[in-house]
Amino acid sequence: MIPAEQQIEILKRGAVDLISEEDLKRKIETGKQLRVKLGADPTRPDLHLGHAVILKKMRQFQELGHKVIMLIGDFTAMIGDPSGKSKTRPPLTLEETRQNAHSYLEQCKLILKDDPEVLELRYNSEWLEPLNYADVIRLASRYTVARILERDDFTKRLNNGTPISLHELLYPLTQGYDSVALEADVELGGTDQLFNNLVGRTLQGQYEQEPQVVLTLPLLVGLDGTEKMSKSLDNYIGLIDAPEVMFAKLMKVPDTLMENYFTLLTDLPLDQIQQIISGHPVEAHRILARNICQWLHPDADIAYAEQRYDEVAKGGIPDDLQTTTVPETDFNDTGKVGILKLIVLGGLATSNKEARRFVEQKGIKLNGELFTDPQAFLDLSEPVVLQRGKDKFARLSR
């Protein structure tokens, strides 16, 4: 068995909060297999590299012989976690959460070891749905309103006069009760989950359990360099993106985030990371892209993904573009459709006005050639490929 000190050094890498290191050391030294919980409300079906940060930490616990519990919050997703939100998040139905959970779990297994010895899958509807009203009142009696309102996002909303619904105040208690039900030894989460996870630690003490260790990891900043990675902000790298797409996106990681991405998403030694990022920026990006693509696509030809990136960077057209079929209703009486509408349908602009500006500023290519006529109409007798900038493409056909 790996000594406790060595395990802790592995597990601390990239962590923001560890409450507490002494407790974790003591738990490891007992020699028992720790139960490591990660709760996730499946509000969306797809995962990105931001999720991979925590999943990678879970895999480290697995490699050290501990059991990770992937807790799907199918019940709590119906409440809506207000953490970090400036307003109430719309709740989902139980059916919606379970549909999302299926996709979520399949993607998690790209990183986690799918072995029942070190992986347990649970749904919190198992113990939350049977609770009656008296049970909820008794649970609520174990935590004070003052403590709940200490949470930063609640404080901001109170100060701003933004309404807080009573069900949102119950969310941290509900999540904390998950730790009691699972008898968790450790709970993982992003930094935005610190308060909720500490509630679980407190509740376990109330239920005469040994309080869990709380370990948080930073929220991965997206490709825009300013906001956390999110599909809604279109600054994400999908966990199931094709290797060619993933490689190209990783080449766009801002230089200021390179150390963060290397530390959280690779196993390279920290001194080697410093050496890499102090070298040529383009080569550093290539090393990052190769490492992450090989990790998530172990059977793929990463050299080919890099080759396609180079070809596109030199003006080539990717050969794996999906084709968008243009509806017949978009064609005029002569059987043609305007170039501006095609640019919008291809997702290269959000409006005809924006599309016109791209054309007039010589930012659009048609089949690899510069296109400068915003008044043009095409009959699409053959599929066409539109390009904006170096790496935004759309293939359209009738």
DSSP letters for 101-141 = HHHHHHHHTTTS---TTTEEEEETHHHHTT--HHHHHHHHT
> For 164-170, what is the mean pLDDT?
84
pTM of the model: 0.78
288 φ/ψ angles, rounded to the nearest 5 degrees:
-60, -50
pLDDT of residue 88: 47
Q: Which distant-in-sequence residues (6+ apart) come within 8 Å of 155 by Cβ?
A: 149
How is domain 243-313 classified at the architecture level of CATH? Orthogonal Bundle (1.10)
Which pairing describes strands 17-19 and 213-217: parallel, antiparallel, or unpaired?
antiparallel
For residues 10 and 57, give the distance between their C-alpha atoms in angstroms, rounded to a whole number. Answer: 9
Which position has the higher pLDDT, 269 or 96? 269
For residues 249 and 245, give the distance between their C-alpha atoms in angstroms, rounded to a whole number. Answer: 6
Q: How many CB atoms lie within 10 A of CB 83?
A: 21
Which position has the higher pLDDT, 180 or 44? 180
pLDDT of residue 111: 94
Instruction: Tell me what the pLDDT averaged over the chain comes to.
Output: 89
Q: Which residues on adjacent β-strands are paired with residue 22? A: none
> For 211-217, what is the mean pLDDT?
96
Q: Which pLDDT band holds residue 156 (cuts at 50, 70, 90)?
A: confident
Sign of torsion over alpha carbons 350, 353, 354, 358: positive
CA dihedral 229, 235, 238, 242 (to 10 degrees): -150
Q: Which residues on adjacent β-strands are paired with residue 378? A: 337
Give the chain's length: 398
* Residue pLDDT, tens place only, 275-286: 999 999 999 999
* Residue pLDDT, tens place only, 173-205: 999 999 999 999 999 999 989 999 999 999 999
DSSP, res 76: G
What is the homologous superfamily of the domain 323-397 according to CATH? RNA-binding S4 domain (3.10.290.10)
- Using an 8 Å Cβ cutoff, are 119 and 70 in contact? yes
Cβ burial 163-191 (10 Å sphere, 16+ → b, else e): ebeeebbbbbbbbbbbbbebebbbbbbbb
Q: How many CB atoms lie within 10 A of CB 317?
A: 14
Q: Where do the structural domains in the chain lie, given as residue ranges?
A: 4-217, 243-313, 323-397
Q: Report the percent of the chain where pLDDT is more than 90.
A: 60
pLDDT of residue 82: 54
CATH code for 4-217? 3.40.50.620
pLDDT > 60? residue 95: yes
231 is in an annotated binding site: yes
